[in-house]
Amino acid sequence: MSIGVVVFPGSNCDRDVQWATQGCLGLSTRYLWHESRDLSGLDAVVLPGGFSYGDYLRCGAIARFAPVLESLVDFVDQGGRVLGICNGFQVLTEMGLLPGVLTRNRGLHFLCQTVDLTVASSRTSWFRGFDKGDVLTLPIAHGEGRYQCSEETLRRLEDEDSIALRYSQNPNGSVADIAGVTNSAGNVLGLMPHPERACDPLLGGIDGQIILKALLG
Amino acid sequence: MSQPLDNSTNYDIASALKQEGLKLDDYKEICRRLDRPPNRAELGMFGVMWSEHCCYRNSRSLLNGFPTKGPRILVGPGENAGVVDLGEGQRLAFKIESHNHPSAIEPFQGAATGVGGILRDIFTMGARPIALLNSLRFGPLDDKNNISLLQGIVSGIAHYGNCVGVPTVGGEIAFDPSYSGNPLVNAMALGLMETTEIVCSGAKGIGYSVLYVGSTTGRDGMGGASFASSELTKESIDDRPAVQVGDPFLEKGLIEACLEAFKSGDVIAAQDMGAAGLTCSCSEMAAKGNVGIELDLDLVPAREVGMTAYEFLLSESQERMLFVVKPGSEQRLIDSFKRWGLCAGVVGKVLEDKVVRVLQNRQIAAEIPAAALADDTPINKHELLTQPPSEVKDAWSWNESQLPRLSSSGISSLLSNSKKTDVTWNEILLMLLDDPTIASKSWIYQQYDYQVQANTIIPPGGADAAVIRLRSQDDNDYSSRKERGIAAVVDCPNRWAFLDPERGAMAAVAEAARNLSCVGAEPLAVTDNLNFPSPETSKGYWQLASSCKGLAKACIALNTPITGGNVSLYNETRLSDGTLQPIHPTPVVGMVGLIDQLSNVRGQAWLSENDSIWLIGIPLEQLNSDEKRITLGGSSYLERIHGIVSGRPPEIDLTLESLVQSFVRKGISENYINSAHDISDGGLSVALAEACISSGLGASIQLPNSEVRIDRMLFAEGGARILVSISSENLSSWEDFIAETIPVDSGVFAAQKIGKVTLAANLLISQGSSTLIDLSVQKLKTCFNQAIPSRVEFQ
Q: B359 vs chain A: nearest CA distance in angstroms?
A: 34
Tell me the C-alpha to C-alpha distance, in Å, between residue B765 and each of B129, B213, B413, B722, B728.
44, 61, 21, 17, 21
The whole-number average pLDDT for the span B202-231 is 82
Q: Hey, of A24, A86, A109, A111, which one would you mutate to test binding to chain B, going by the most B CBs within 10 A of its CB?
A: A109
Closest partner CB to B450 (pick from A56, A112, A194): A112
Average pLDDT over residues B437-460: 96
Cβ–Cβ under 8 Å, residues B636 and B644 = no
How close A199 comes to chain B (CA, Å)? 9
CA B664 to chain centre: 25
Percent of chain B with pLDDT over 90: 77
> CB B451 to CB A194 under 8 A?
yes
Other CB atoms within a 10 A radius of the CB of residue B689 amount to 27
Q: Which of B165, B452, B478 has its CB closest to that of A24? A: B478
Q: Count Cβ atoms below 10 Å from residue B146 Cβ, excluding itself.
A: 21
Residue B239, pLDDT score: 62
Task: Give the mean pLDDT of B170-180.
Answer: 97
Enumerate residues 6+ apart whose C-beta is below 8 A from A210: A127, A128, A129, A130, A136, A195
Gap between the Cα atoms of B307 and B365, Å rounded:
13
- Residue A206 contacts B where some CB pair is shorter than 8 Å: no
**In 3-state terms, what secondary structure has residue B445?**
helix
Rounded distance, CA A131 to CA A139, Å? 21
Q: Which of A94, A144, A149, A194 is catalytic?
A: A194
Residue of A nearest to B793 (CA): A107
Give residue B624's pLDDT band: very low, low, confident or very high (50, 70, 90): confident
pLDDT in tens, B80-128: 999 999 998 899 999 999 999 999 999 999 999 999 999 999 999 999 9
The residue in chain B having the minimum alpha-carbon distance to the alpha carbon of residue A171 is B446
Long-range residue pairs from B61-64, CB within 8 A, at least 24 positions apart, any chain:
B61/B379, B62/B544, B62/B545, B62/B548, B62/B549, B63/B548, B63/B567
Q: What is the pTM of this model?
A: 0.95
3-state secondary structure of A123: coil
Phi-psi region of A139 (alpha: psi -120 to 50; beta: other; left: phi over 0): beta
Does the active-site annotation cover A34? no
Q: How close A44 comes to chain B (CA, Å)?
A: 19
Q: Which residues of A touch B450 (CB under 8 A)?
A: 112
Q: How far apart are CA B189 and CA B177, in angstroms?
A: 28
Residue-wise pLDDT for B151-169, tens only, equals 999 999 999 999 999 999 9
Picking from A26, A110, A113, the nearest residue to B158 by CB comes out as A110
The shortest C-alpha distance from B444 to chain A (Å) reads 10
Chain B nearest C-alpha distance from A121 (Å): 28
Q: Is A19 an 8 Å CB contact of chain B? A: yes
Can B584 be counted among the known catalytic residues?
Answer: no
Residue B58: its pLDDT value, please?
86
CA A29 to chain B, closest CA, distance in angstroms equals 11
CB spacing of A13 vs B450 below 8 angstroms: no
Q: What is the ipTM of this complex?
A: 0.96
A112, B451: Cβ pair inside 8 Å? Answer: yes
Residues of chain B neighbouring A109 (CB-CB closer than 8 A): 155, 158, 446-447
pLDDT band with cut points at 50, 70 and 90 for residue B333: very high
**Closest to B165 (Cβ–Cβ): which among A12, A18, A203?**
A12
pLDDT of residue B392: 96
pLDDT at B234: 65
Indicate the pLDDT class of residue B55, thresholds 50, 70 and 90.
confident
Comparing A122-126, B6-10, B477-481, the range with the smallest average pLDDT is: B477-481
Q: Does A54 touch chain B (CB under 8 A)?
A: yes
Nearest CA to CA, how far is B249 from chain A (Å)?
Answer: 5
Q: Tell me: the pLDDT tens digits for B226-263?
A: 565 566 666 666 665 667 888 999 999 999 999 999 99
Predicted pLDDT of residue A217: 78
Q: A-chain residues within 8 Å CB-CB of B598?
A: 202
Could you tell me if A141 lies within 8 Å of chain B, comparing CB atoms? yes
Residue-level pLDDT at B416:
77
Q: Determine the average pLDDT of the residues in B269-297.
A: 91
Mean pLDDT (chain A, rounded): 95
Half-sphere exposure of A146 toward its Cβ, with a 13 Å CA cutoff? 12
Phi, psi of B677, deg, nearest 5 = -150, 130
Mean pLDDT of chain B: 92
Asked if residue B411 lies in contact with residue B428, where contact means CB atoms within 8 angstroms, the answer is yes
Q: Is B249 within 8 Å of A53 when comparing Cβ atoms? A: yes
Give percent helix, percent strand, percent coil of chain B, each to the nearest 5: 35, 25, 35
Quickly state the pLDDT bin for B208 (edges 50, 70, 90). very high
Nearest CA in chain B to A203: B457
Q: B48: part of which helix (H) or strand (E)?
A: helix B40-49
| Mean predicted confidence (pLDDT) in B347-367 | 95
The model's pLDDT over B534-562, given as tens digits with 9 standing for 90+, comes to 999 999 999 999 999 999 999 999 999 99
CA-nearest of B657, B663, B662, B604 to B630 is: B657
Chains A and B form CB pairs within 8 A to the count of 90
Catalytic residue of the set A86, A144, A149, A199: A86
* Residue B380 near residue B55 (C-beta atoms within 8 A): no
CA closest to A28 among chain B residues = B476
Residue B784's SS3 state is helix
Say if CB B340 and CB B257 are below 8 A apart. yes
State the pLDDT at residue B56.
85
**Which residue in A5, A34, A85, A110 has the most chain B C-beta atoms within 10 A of its own C-beta, making it the best mutation to test that interface?**
A110
> Which residues on A lie below 8 Å from B448 (Cβ)?
110, 112
**DSSP-derived pairing of the beta strands B343-351 and B363-369:** unpaired
- Among partner residues A22, A53, A109, which is closest to B447 by beta-carbon distance? A109
pLDDT band with cut points at 50, 70 and 90 for residue B9: confident
What gap in Å lies between CA B163 and CA A50, rounded to an integer?
Answer: 7
pLDDT band at B3 (very low <50, low <70, confident <90, very high): confident
Is A194 tagged catalytic? Answer: yes
Residues B513 and B488: their CA atoms lie apart, in Å, by 10
Q: How confident is the model at residue B367 (pLDDT cuts 50, 70, 90)?
A: very high
Closest CA in chain A for residue B155:
A109
- The minimal CB distance from A12 to the residues B452, B455, B477 is found for B452
Closest residue in chain B to residue A142, using alpha carbons only: B449
- Which residue on chain A is closest to B456 by alpha carbon? A203
For residue A29, report the phi and psi dihedrals to the nearest 5 degrees.
-140, 135
pLDDT in tens, B592-614: 999 999 999 999 999 999 999 99
Sorted by sequence, the CB contacts under 8 Å of residue B87 that are 6+ apart come out as none
pLDDT of residue B316: 87
8 Å CB contact between B380 and B537 = no
Q: Which of residues B272 and B519 earns the better pLDDT score? A: B519
Q: Do B454 and A20 touch (CB under 8 A)?
A: yes
How confident is the model over B711-768, as pLDDT tens digits? 999 999 999 999 999 999 999 999 999 999 887 666 778 899 999 999 999 999 999 9
Evaluate the CA torsion angle B665, B671, B675, B679 in order and state its sign: negative
Instruction: Read off the amino acid at residue B291.
Output: V
Looking only at the bridges linking them, the beta strands covering B562-568 and B522-531 are parallel
CATH superfamily of A2-216: Class I glutamine amidotransferase (GATase) domain (3.40.50.880)
Average pLDDT over residues B501-529: 98
Q: What angle do CA B578, B581, B544 make, to 5 degrees?
A: 135
The pLDDT tens digits of the residues spanning B435-448 come to 999 999 999 999 99
Other CB atoms within a 10 A radius of the CB of residue B254 amount to: 29
Nearest to A172 by CA among A211, A196, A141: A141
Spans of all domains in chain A: 2-216
Q: Which of A12, A23, A112 sits opposite B252 (nearest CB)?
A: A12
pLDDT at B1 over 60: no
Hey, are the CB atoms on B455 and A203 less than 8 Å from each other? yes
Shortest Cα distance from B503 to chain A (angstroms)? Answer: 37
Residues from chain B contacting residue A15 (CB–CB below 8 Å): 453-454, 473
Query: What contacts B72, CB < 8 A, 6 or more positions away?
Result: B84, B85, B86, B524, B525
Helix (H, G, I), strand (E, B) or coil at B84: strand
Provide the β-strand partners of residue B520: none
Q: Tell which residue, B566, B561, B554, has the closest CA to residue B511.
A: B554
CB of A110 within 8 Å of a chain B CB? The answer is: yes
* Residue in B446, B453, B455 closest to A112 by CB: B446
**Residue A13 to residue B452, Cβ atoms within 8 A:** yes
Taking the CA of residue B580 and the nearest CA in chain A, the distance in Å comes to 35
Partner residue opposite A51 with nearest CB, options B163, B454, B478: B163
Interchain pair B446, A202: CB under 8 A: no
